[in-house]
Chain A
Amino acid sequence: MIEKALKGNKGYWAWLMFLLAIMGVGGMCYAQQFNYGLGITGMSRDVTWGLYISQFTFLVGVAAGGLMLVLPYYVHNYKAFGRITILGEFMAIAAVAMCLMFIIADLGQPMRAMNVMLHPTPNSMLFWDMIVLNGYLFLNIICGWQVLHAEYKGIKYPKWVKPFIYLSIPWAISIHTVTAFLYCGLPGRHFWLTAVLAPRFLASAFAAGPALLMVIALIMKKVANFDVGQEAKDKLVTIIGYAALVNFFLLGCEVFVGYYSNIPGHMHTLDYLFFGLGHGDHVFNNLVPFMRASVVMGVIGIITLFLSRVKKCDGMLAIACILIFISLWIDKGLGLVLGGFVPTPLEYVVEYVPSAVELGITAAVWATGFFILTILYKLVVSVKRVSES
């Protein structure tokens, strides 16, 4: 089956070469970081996690988003998702692979990563996160691969796969819940210390994952003539739209609790993210334009999304999904992690700006993810084409 990935048109190869080039540059950046240490990034004693961990957090959501396809298709037997579900499973594989790469990139002693296994520590949420992430990767590889392979052979997938598919559903919830628990169980970080963090993570995941999938599906329709079908798209619009609405509702709840209770610790980070936080005679507001843009893009995105369904316009749909995806990426992939460090436990304000090397590594991990995704989707398109004709 894998040989199908080796046959493609010029555009396919050019795209893969482009990704490989980014991966190459990122690889060189990583060599630099490996030799110098994490001091080569923009992180500091006060902002100890940066782009790597925030991308990781966001991508766990993208991975969990696949659930929104698996659940209707396998549990509710929703046939319209027949073509798109496998895309969701494979997207989860690529996203979890990126997560694991980002974690390794963030470690001060990457060669010792196995210590997490060698000295299992059940009281640490990071230990559990490692278990659920690797488990989810494994589940999706099994399910996605077996299902596709069966289709390639023109048979139904073996019975033993079914329990794994069902298991992958609660598992998807668990990966994002445990990832939220990394943050919301820490005393003294008020912005993270909120019970709605896990629900908010899930809501944004169920919007961001399918939104990315929709964009890719629309691209595949153009370049590979692979259509997931109007009904599937309409259904996905409902899922993305409501999940995004729930995310913004929960954000609103945070804002209410912070400002109505008037407790400084609950307001500081929100101030920093949306208005700028004064300290001494300086106002720190690095993230303000991003966060405001996130809200604006989110609102416009949701409106456009529902309009696109009425108008049956693919272009509009693509724009809506891109807006929602970027909005949620800023919200969780930047604001949530970086904002949590402001102010510091001693109430200083220290800002973080990623370094060029850090950006290079980040881009390379994303490129690797898209590389995996492209290969997997190429297989899907080839197999589906044969089996359906």
Chain B
Amino acid sequence: MDLELLTQLTQAFGPPGYEEEIRAVIREVVTPLADSVWVDPLGSLVALKRGTGGGKKTVLAAHMDEIGVMVTYVDEKGYLRFTRMGGISPLMHIGGRVRFADGTVGVISVERREDSSKIPALEQLYIDVGASSREDAPVKVGDPAVFMRPLVAQGRRLISKTLDDRVGCYVLIETLRRLGPTPDDLYFLFSVQEEVTLSGARTSAYKIDPDMALAVDVTMTGDTPKALPMAVEMGKGPAIKVQDSGMIAHPAVRDLLIAAAERVGIPYQREILLGGSTDAAAMQLVRGGVPSGCVSIPCRYVHSPSEMVDVTDVEQTVALLSAALAPA
């Protein structure tokens, strides 16, 4: 496991629509590994690895963007009000910190409330960058920010902000590193704006016009106290998507992944995710339709600043993709 790379990936700035920093990190790593690399009109990065025959095209997509916040108002005293970029819950973020593109750090806190037993609304939270007035605040309306939290490796577990979906980006990069010759042309798509609209994967898949599309993203687990029942656990192997709230995986794609896992002896889990979806849902509907599926890395506390995954799950996801894409 290349922890240095994963650290770099998780810590790079990249809220939806503002993926420059993370794109630069990934571009530098994939450029020597790919036959060509380009940026699409909406900002997604594509690395193409040419196949050996047939010219069939497969897309592997992991999203570069991360959940964050956007400043909507700066008050006279320099406190910031904000809105969500992607699915964030007030419960997860009070007392946390955010970072703006220029490095400015802010603390998230909450107004005093009459009834403090209730979960506050997002409108009751504010960000304090330590400014003393509106004029003094180094931040303006429309500026995006992301949560801060370092990556920690503890035994076989990894804990960090933005494992959703930088761990998917990591899996794509590792797969690209390790893969030998493959029959299909492989398009490694590092997409933008998944957390808000899936519009990066949608538009890039249109341009590529693939024969098959796979998303690589995190999924939730059912293995924490009083979790919503879900037959996916952290540490039990990659999850092969059957269905989520945005799509039904194409059965042929699903079975291709299952057959590959069984052939090389990788443990896997069948995934049904009740709340949430991935880039695959958008890619499936491009042009005349694209057979699409998804391989998920089981992840606890998705969309909190401390997401947790298992190293073996990550490594086995790479192995599963490699087996599926380069049949021996």
Q: Do chains A and B interact in one complex?
A: no
B residues at A contact (CB < 8 Å)? none
